[in-house]
Amino acid sequence: MPDEMTVARSETGDPLLLTPGPLTTSKSVKAAMVHDWGSRDAAFLRINREVLERLPAIVNGGADYVTVPVQGSGTFAVEAMLTSFVPAGGCCLLVINGAYGQRARRILEIAKRRTVVCETAEDTPPDLDRIEQVLKADPGITHIFVVHCETTSGILNPVHEIGALAAKYAKGYLVDSMSAFGALPLDAPAAHADAVAASSNKCIEGVPGLGFVICRRAALVATDGNATTLTLDLLDQSRVLEKTGQYRFTPPIHVIVAFHQALTEFFAEGGQPGRGGRYAGNCQELIDGMRAMGFETLLPDALQAPIIVTFRMPADRRFVFQTFYDKLKDRGFVIYPGKLTVADSFRIGCIGRLDRSHMRLALDAIREVLHELGVASVAAHKAA
Ligand SMILES: *Cc1c(COP(=O)(O)O)cnc(C)c1O
* In a domain? residue 382: no
Candidates 20, 70, 23, 77; CA nearest to 196 is 77
Q: From CA 176, how far away is CA 149, in angstroms rounded?
A: 8
If asked whether residues 249 and 317 sit together in one domain, one would say no
* In a domain? residue 317: yes
What is the domain range of residue 212? Answer: 27-268
pLDDT of residue 339: 73
Q: From CA 78, how far away is CA 104, in angstroms rounded?
A: 7
Residue 356 counted as an annotated binding residue = no
* In a domain? residue 7: no
Q: From CA 289, how far away is CA 26, in angstroms rounded?
A: 25
Say which CATH number the domain at 348 has.
3.90.1150.10
Q: From CA 19, how far away is CA 373, in angstroms rounded?
A: 23
Q: From CA 290, how far away is CA 270, in angstroms rounded?
A: 29
Tens of pLDDT, residue by residue, the chain (384 residues): 556 799 999 999 999 999 988 999 999 999 999 999 998 999 999 999 999 999 999 999 999 999 999 999 999 999 999 999 999 999 999 999 999 999 999 999 999 999 999 999 999 999 999 999 999 999 999 999 999 999 999 999 999 999 999 999 999 999 999 999 999 999 999 999 999 999 999 999 999 999 999 999 999 999 999 999 999 999 999 999 999 999 999 999 999 999 999 999 999 999 999 999 999 999 999 999 999 999 999 999 999 999 999 999 999 999 999 999 999 999 999 998 777 888 899 999 999 999 999 999 999 999 999 999 999 999 997 754
Give just the sign of the alpha carbon dihedral 216, 222, 228, 232: positive
Q: What is the CA(139)–ligand 1 centre distance, in A? A: 30
If asked whether residues 207 and 301 sit together in one domain, one would say no
* In a domain? residue 341: yes
If asked whether residues 256 and 286 sit together in one domain, one would say no
Helix H or strand E encompassing 134: helix 128-137
If asked whether residues 213 and 286 sit together in one domain, one would say no
* In a domain? residue 315: yes
DSSP string, 283-351: HHHHHHHHHHHT--BSS-GGGB-TTEEEEEPB--TT--HHHHHHHHHHTTEE-EE---SSS-EEEEE--
If asked whether residues 113 and 81 sit together in one domain, one would say yes
Ligand 1 site, residue 147, Cβ cutoff 6 A: yes
Q: From CA 161, how far away is CA 303, in angstroms rounded?
A: 15
* In a domain? residue 383: no
DSSP helix, strand, coil percent of the chain (3-state; round to 5) = 40, 15, 45
Number of domains composing the chain: 2
Q: From CA 166, how far away is CA 143, in angstroms rounded?
A: 8
Domain boundary residue among 268, 290, 322? 268
- For residue 243, count CB atoms less than 10 angstroms from its CB and return exposed for 0-12, middle for 13-18, buried for 19 or more: exposed
If asked whether residues 213 and 275 sit together in one domain, one would say no
If asked whether residues 165 and 64 sit together in one domain, one would say yes
* In a domain? residue 97: yes
If asked whether residues 289 and 355 sit together in one domain, one would say yes
Give just the sign of the alpha carbon dihedral 61, 260, 335, 291: positive
Residue type at 201?
N
Ligand 1 site, residue 100, Cβ cutoff 6 A: yes
Q: Where are the alpha helices (DSSP H) in 222-305?
A: 234-244, 253-268, 271-293
pTM for the model stands at 0.97
Q: From CA 16, how far away is CA 113, in angstroms rounded?
A: 41
If asked whether residues 333 and 218 sit together in one domain, one would say no
Say whether 146 sits in a helix, a strand or coil. Answer: strand
Q: From CA 371, how far away is CA 324, in angstroms rounded?
A: 11
Candidates 123, 119, 124; CA nearest to 104 is 119
Candidates 196, 200, 277; CA nearest to 234 is 196
Does residue 318 contact residue 374 with C-beta atoms inside 8 Å? yes
* In a domain? residue 350: yes
Ligand 1 site, residue 79, Cβ cutoff 6 A: no
Q: From CA 80, how far away is CA 235, in angstroms rounded?
A: 10
Say which CATH number the domain at 76 has.
3.40.640.10
Determine the residue of 76, 175, 199 to mutate for testing ligand 1's pocket, defined as the one with the most ligand atoms within 8 A of the Cβ atom. Answer: 199
If asked whether residues 314 and 343 sit together in one domain, one would say yes
pLDDT of residue 343: 85
Ligand 1 site, residue 354, Cβ cutoff 6 A: no
Q: From CA 121, how far away is CA 195, in angstroms rounded?
A: 25
Phi, psi of 308 (to 5 degrees): -150, 140
If asked whether residues 241 and 276 sit together in one domain, one would say no
Domain boundary residue among 235, 268, 301? 268
Q: Ligand 1 atom 2: the closest Cα is on which residue? A: 178
